[in-house]
Amino acid sequence: MRILIAIPVLLLSLFFFAPALPEAPAGFDNKSNGLVDDATHAADQVKFDEIEQVSDGLGPLYNAQSCRECHQNPTSGGSSQVSELRVGHRGPGGKFQNPEIPIARGTEIIKGRSLVNDRAICPNAAFPSTEIQERVPDSENIRTFRVSLNLLGDGFVEAVPDQTFVDLAKDQCQKNHNKICGQVLYVPILEAPPLTGVGRFGWKDQHASLLSFSADAYLNEMGITNRLQTDEVTNLCNTVNEPNDTTGPDGLADIDHFARYIRATETPARDSTLAQTPKARLGADLFVKVGCDICHVQTLTTAPAGTTLNGGTFTIPPALGDKQFHPYGDFLLHNVGTGDGIVAAMLEHYGKNMYQTNWRNLSIPNYNNAANKIRTAPLWGVRLHSRLMHDGDSVTLFDAILRHRGEAAQVTKKFKKLNPAKKEALLEFLRSL
């Protein structure tokens, strides 16, 4: 009898006293999380902050001159109010189709992307009559804005094993009787064809790798071609040879510096003053009680140091391995009734290699199925966002919560039933994140 009791007690105590994994460092002080030394991190930040010019390959079509222009609040790598424009229309069978945007007085049509660039380098002194500004034709009647995302701490997100997200989706679905079922999307890893990984970056989970995302952003936000995104969106008034981004004396191109910069950032720190108040603590309990944490998952853990990622092209260093962090997100796609109907554009995100590679596990039906889904917005650092939700259409936390329908309908209902003091406590908790 005594032994029978002793065994479960021993097992229980092992469970409770197993040392928790160390916390990922948090802060907005521009220090490295340990992936590189602070001087290297500062040098990588210079690249991230750098203003590109036409002579560097900027454009011909672009949105901004530097990564920092959109990722800056409260420091380089954060988010911002800047949003970008995505449009399209429905084709045969109601399927989403990318837009056709005429430029140069209709002599060229930009296809294969849902993004519409807000700026262009010409007409200019060298090309006074070349008119390439993109404008949306009336026929493109599916339209949305997408707000800039936070990048701080994303190195930890990248280091979470694919299997964690697969298990999370399955578990969530089972526990919630098929009412809340996050979707996993396998996406190309541009630096490791034909391999794919579980998408976790972007509002549509369109990338798994920070290097892939950096290459995508350099081309599509700034017009700078690079070794993973080799083709300009248009060659009109283009004067700099491809790829615009070349390898420096250290063997690294700009996209390598961007990826390393993001990987070395600390996670967004909480407002520690607010977090300690009884009100915010009550709010934290209510957040779990009404079920917000089903999707806004508090804690994730990274794979052990030495694990290889992205098809063996990146090995998790000790600074990123075996850490716990608190993103308040599951990085899965959900339909919470806010979807814009836009399917992630293949050519835009993955380049023409998309069609020349037989990507493993890639499923176009899964992409189409996500037309109305959005990645759960990670809530770390949400107190620093002035505009909320993918379209930036909600300007208060309360409004953002009330917009949750679809898979989140039951949870929203429970939130609405809270008395005013409890609602306020939950909001106070969000203001501490």
User: Which residues of the shown chain bind ligand HEC in the complex (CB under 6 A)?
Assistant: 63-64, 67, 69-71, 82, 84, 146, 148-149, 151, 154, 180, 201-204, 210, 213-214, 217-218, 221-222, 258, 262, 290-292, 294-296, 334, 336, 338, 374, 376-377, 379, 382, 385, 388-390, 397, 400-401, 404, 407-408, 411, 415, 430
Distance CA 83, CA 350 (A): 21
Distance CA 397, CA 385 (A): 10
Distance CA 243, CA 95 (A): 34
Distance CA 419, CA 413 (A): 12
36 vs 107, beta carbon nearer ligand HEC: 36
Least distance between ligand HEC and beta carbon 219 (Å): 9
3-state secondary structure of 226: strand
Least distance between ligand HEC and beta carbon 19 (Å): 29
Count of other CB atoms within 10 angstroms of residue 292: 24
Please give the biggest Cα pair distance in the chain: 92
DSSP state for residue 233 in the 8-state scheme: S
156 vs 236, beta carbon nearer ligand HEC: 156
180 vs 303, beta carbon nearer ligand HEC: 180
306 vs 350, beta carbon nearer ligand HEC: 350
Least distance between ligand HEC and beta carbon 66 (Å): 7
Least distance between ligand HEC and beta carbon 337 (Å): 8
Least distance between ligand HEC and beta carbon 15 (Å): 28
Q: Taking the CA atoms of the chain, what radius of gyration do you get in angstroms? A: 23
105 vs 246, beta carbon nearer ligand HEC: 246
Least distance between ligand HEC and beta carbon 57 (Å): 12
Distance CA 31, CA 284 (A): 28
Axis crossing angle, helix 38-49 with helix 254-263, rounded to the nearest 10 = 120
61 vs 149, beta carbon nearer ligand HEC: 149
- The secondary structure element, H or E, covering residue 334 is strand 333-334
